[in-house]
């Protein structure tokens, strides 16, 4: 819930970038809600395309979309 609050405050901050990455990972690997994971991975790829988090998110999206 804390990560969601961070993103609600300011979606353009470095903190929201980190929060989105951890939320994507949480939904992807811990609770297996793939649509939610994709949402956060896509958010990263669109809003922080040159970040290391986005690079990882894009790679993971490729795998998820291929399944």
User: Is the C-alpha dihedral spanning 65, 6, 56, 46 positive or negative?
Assistant: positive
pLDDT tens, the chain, 67 aa long = 888 898 888 888 889 999 999 999 999 999 999 999 999 999 999 999 999 999 999 999 999 999 8
Instruction: Report pTM.
Output: 0.90
Alpha carbon distance 32, 55 (integer Å): 21
User: Which residue ranges make up each domain of the chain?
Assistant: 2-66
């Amino acid at each position: 819930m804390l990560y969601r609050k961070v993103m609600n405050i300011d979606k353009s901050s470095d903190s929201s970038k980190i929060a989105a990455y951890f939320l994507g990972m949480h939904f992807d690997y811990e609770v297996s809600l793939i649509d939610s994971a994709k949402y956060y991975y896509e958010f990263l790829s669109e809003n922080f395309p040159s970040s290391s988090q986005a690079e990882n998110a894009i790679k993971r999206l490729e795998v998820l979309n291929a399944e």
